[in-house]
Amino acid sequence: MSTERTPPHPVTLVALSGVAALSMNVFLPSLPGMARDFGVDYAVMQLSVSAYIGASALLQLLGGPVSDRFGRRPVALFGLTLFLLATIGTLLAPNAASFLFFRLVQAIISVCMLLSRATVRDMFEGDKAASMIGYVTMGMAVVPMIAPVIGGILDEAFGWRANFATMGVLALIVLIVTWRDMGETVRGGGVPMRQQIANYPILARSHRFWGYCLSATLASGCFFAYLGGAPFVGEQVFDLTPAQVGYFFAAPSIGYLTGNFLSGRYTAQVGLNRMVLIGALICLTALGLSLLTTLAGVVNPVIFFGAIGFMGLGNGLVMPNTNAGMMNVRPELAGTASGLGGALAVAGGAALSAIAGALLEPGSGATPLLVIMCGSALGSLIAILWVLRRERQLARVG
């Protein structure tokens, strides 16, 4: 068991992020069936996605400063333990209300995502940190790529509760691995809360920080809107089974995996900001073409999910680099920056996911979902262009 300031194995960081990603999307193909099982509308059961994302935002906002003060290791162990208890609650829930309560408690696992990024930033700096975050999240992307496929198969074979049992077993394994391998990487016993509060204005006044935050928030907003609307679109628009929806859910993860690899391989040469710009352009172009095709009357799941795959590619370029950019503003507050950025990203995602769920109804088609996603992608592009403009202005002044 490692408790000293020793770097955890990259596989441990991948596992921490991966179990958090698993809890978000493994059960998505089951949502329509879960609504029928509990006797509620799809919009109510969709709260298990949008409300969960909202709770994740708040928990990341709190988890970042706490991990800067007390360390990455104890926060990770606490989050995994509470997640296990909440998962048992979802399995035993007799009705939709109690299920949704325990589902919200499950959101504590989201702190593991910010911890993996902050741990990388503890060990590396600048473009190297962005590169390593890309590699770590590249490995993590494998989990959401295969999770909906497995979730759809488990649903058809054993029912939706099998997905939550799988979450619990894997979280237990990750808890054991983290306990044994994850050494503390925060220097000097952490940054006292009083000192953190004194440094917050520096973070809050940084145009770079907010530009990166907005770009990340709106890029991930495309994906969260997709999470909220794709199960409905798959069943109602394309007439797909839960297992087939799970297969198509691999599209954004394959794209994200590729984008993460490219980030890890080329960020040091191309530069952090240019990688974000390229990713935002790819995301907007793919979604815009899909919207135009849908408006032209072409309804085809391959075209729709193919565009989502390219959206994933763009996000795979945007997210590691914007996260590294946020944490570079004030390195000693890496956890706080990662938590605040993550909180904004998932809060925006929760709103977009809820909007997507509310606007999608029989006969609406995929158009409302694509309009939301295109608007979010455009905002992400504008945000990184703002960062580039500010940096050019500072360069001229300097």
Which range has the worst mean pLDDT, 2-6, 30-34, 179-183, 309-313? 2-6
pLDDT of residue 196: 66
5 lies in some domain: no
Our count of domains for the chain comes to: 1
Per-residue pLDDT for 98 more than 90?
Answer: yes
pLDDT of residue 289: 94
* Cβ atoms of residues 282 and 241 within 8 Å: no
CATH number of the domain encompassing residue 15 = 1.20.1250.20
226 lies in some domain: yes
For the entire predicted model, the pTM comes to 0.70
Per-residue pLDDT for 204 more than 70?
Answer: yes
Stretch 310-324: mean pLDDT: 89
Tokens, residue 35: 């609504």
254 lies in some domain: yes
What's the first-to-final CA gap in the chain, in angstroms? 49
pLDDT of residue 163: 92
Domain encompassing residue 78: 10-397
387 lies in some domain: yes
Tokens, residue 365: 């088609």
Of 83 and 227, the one with more pLDDT: 83
CB atoms within 10 A of CB 179: 16
* Cβ atoms of residues 122 and 187 within 8 Å: yes
Give the whole-angstrom CA distance, residue 58 versus residue 340: 9
Stretch 1-28: mean pLDDT: 77
370 lies in some domain: yes
Per-residue pLDDT for 82 more than 60?
Answer: yes
pLDDT of residue 181: 87
Taking alpha carbons only, the member of 321, 289, 333 closest to residue 308 is 289
Amino acid letter, residue 256: Y
pLDDT of residue 332: 65
pLDDT of residue 1: 44
Give the pLDDT confidence of 217-269 residue by residue, as tens digits: 899 888 888 877 777 777 777 887 777 777 777 788 788 888 988 988 888 88
Output the average pLDDT for the chain.
Answer: 83
10-25 helix and 111-123 helix, angle to the nearest 10 degrees: 160
Give the pLDDT confidence of 283-297 residue by residue, as tens digits: 999 999 999 998 888
131 lies in some domain: yes
| pLDDT range class, residue 2, cuts 50, 70, 90 | very low
1 lies in some domain: no
Give the whole-angstrom CA distance, residue 44 versus residue 60: 24
354 lies in some domain: yes
Per-residue pLDDT for 364 more than 70?
Answer: no
pLDDT of residue 363: 65
Give the whole-angstrom CA distance, residue 350 versus residue 256: 20
